[in-house]
Amino acid sequence: MAARINPSILTADFANLERELGRIATADLVHVDVMDNHFVPNLTFGPRMVESLQRVSPLPLDVHLMIDDPDRWAPGYAEVGAFSVTFHAEAAADPVTLARRLRSLGARAGIAVKPGTAIEPYLELLPEFDQVLVMTVEPGFGGQSFIESTMPKLALLREAVSGSGLDVWLQVDGGINERTIVTAAEAGADTFVAGSSVFNAGEPAEQIALLRAAASGHVH
């Protein structure tokens, strides 16, 4: 199975985002990190910016909400056309109701967990989600180092997804490069967010191909 590569525009040139999107057109989706300076200590995009990106992006948008009160705000991102909307388990009051709302608006529903959050409470809820994002760094900033101790969570998720026959994508985000993508794929990930390693490369398209090739032989 081919690995999905979703470059994060967190490390792109914000002054030239349309051009930057064109440089990653060979990827699978564009990962958009929405941060509110409350849930994480950083501030990035909001709904209007995502709507603008939606108009010019050659690829579907994979929106990752690192925000407080996603129960209130997440549906707005589905309404502007995001392909996938992922919110944090630690921030949502009612993850299942929110996931169902996102699906009803036509988006894939994703749930994310920080490195220190246990995955076991969410395993029985997997049918409610289209994607589970295991953060492999503390959310908030790009360029951090991969936390390998998050891999057992991925292995549990892969076992649960494979055993149930569900079509749930298992995504990792943080510190993904040619080496760590293999580690994550072997643990069970099939969808990979890469920011610095793509946008800091001379040729992003070549780096995307390199990452995809490195992971694809190990994806379950």
Q: Which of 28, 33, 36, 190 is catalytic?
A: 33
The encoded tokens of residue 97 equal 């109701």
- CA distances (Å), origin 63, targets 151, 190, 217: 23, 17, 27
Measured distance CA(196)–CA(47) in Å, rounded: 24
Rounded to an integer, what is the distance from CA 117 to the centroid of its chain? 16
Query: Residue 17: which residues within 8 A CB-CB, separation 6 or more?
Result: 9, 53, 56
Q: Which of 151, 143, 108, 132 shows the shortest CA–CA distance to 191?
A: 132
DSSP letter, residue 175: S
Measured distance CA(37)–CA(68) in Å, rounded: 9
173 is catalytic: yes
Give 63-85 as a DSSP string. EEEE-S-HHHHHHHHHHTT-SEE
Q: Residue 38's CB: how many other CB atoms inside 10 A?
A: 12
Q: Which of 62, 130, 173, 190 is catalytic?
A: 173
The encoded tokens of residue 55 equal 């108009």
Decide: 32 and 53 in contact? Cβ < 8 Å.
yes
Residue in this structure with the two tokens 């076992």, named with its chain if needed: 159
190 is catalytic: no
Residues taking part in catalysis: 33, 173
